[in-house]
Amino acid sequence: MMKKSLLIMVITALVFGSCSKQQRTEKKLVDAMLSDDYETSFQAISDYSDWVKSDISNMTYNFSYSREKLGAKVNTSSDGKLRSLSWVTNHGEVYDTYANILIWTVNGNLIGFNGPLDAMLTGRKPSIKHQWSLAHSIDTIYDIQDATQPIYMFVESYVNEEGKTFTYISAAINQGLKLSIMPFFFDGIETAGNRPYVDDGHVDKSQLIKWDNKTKMLYCYVTDDNERVIPGQYEQYALSSTQFVKVKKEENEENQDNLN
């Protein structure tokens, strides 16, 4: 009985010891990122990224200190195989810049990437030193299953040089060691969202782009002539076997009633 109790104590100590080490690492790196020294801060971002990408337990870690101090957005796909971390690295006078980290699992191994999501999906490498500053905020991850493979949809947002806010979709397929952009994911030249809107602090970004897994329908925000989001109104895209196709106006209105 005593041996069993000792074993339980050892296991408990190991669990809590590992957890506290993870929390200590997170706190140390986050505090360094908040340094007033530019080089110290950006080196800490690099170190933080290396830590996130090296520990597979970060697939389930809550990153509570990062959420609290950095305002980090942590998203996990519903299949549990993909996570993203996104936060503002500095608040600019005109627009914010973001850091992004993506991690995913392949056969029990952890794969990671830091930097702009679009650069990763297209295989382009930014030439500037601090490439993460080009990133957009990753607000949500949706994973959907088509006939052959899972597709991950990333809802991203950014503010341009004119101070206008945009929210849009990037789509990717998991090809093992890398995520690759889903080509021709939307029909024609129009993509879902990616239109400017006024963000006065009252826009609920979680309601801008919605995915209905039951109907396989994507709902994207619309704006009025003053570039203000019209609550409860959406453009809709239906998922076919290969891409999203914009729903005609008549069908759109019918689906709109069902959504509301």
What is the tens place of the pLDDT at every residue in 164-220?
888 888 777 766 666 666 655 665 545 667 788 988 888 888 889 898 988 888 899
Q: Radius of gyration over alpha carbons of the chain, in Å?
A: 21
Residues 136 and 190 in one domain: no
Show which of 154, 183, 212 is a domain's final residue.
Answer: 183
Same domain, 85 and 209: no
Helix (H) or strand (E) holding 7: helix 2-33
Residues 207 and 171 in one domain: no
Round to whole Å and give the CA distance between 259 and 251.
Answer: 12
Q: State whether 116 and 190 are in the same domain.
A: no
Whether residues 92 and 37 share a domain: the answer is: yes
Given 183, 214, 246, the domain boundary residue is 183
**One-letter identity of residue 33:** M
Same domain membership, residue 161 and residue 38: yes
pTM: 0.76
Can you give the residue range of the structural domain that contains 188?
Answer: 184-260
Same domain, 197 and 82: no
Given the structure tokens 């993909």, which residue do they identify? 82
Domain boundary among 183, 216, 232: 183
Specify the number of domains making up the chain.
2
Could you report the per-residue pLDDT of 64-90, keeping only the tens digit for each?
A: 999 999 999 999 998 888 999 998 876
Examine the domain organization and report whether 125 and 208 are in the same domain.
Answer: no
Q: Which residue in the block uniquely carries the two structure tokens 């029909």? A: 187
**DSSP-derived secondary structure for 157-204:** EEE-TTS-EEEEEEEEEE-SSSEEE-TT-BSSS--SB---B---S---
Q: What are phi and psi of 208, to 5 degrees?
A: -75, -40
> What residues does 98 pair with on adjacent strands?
88, 135
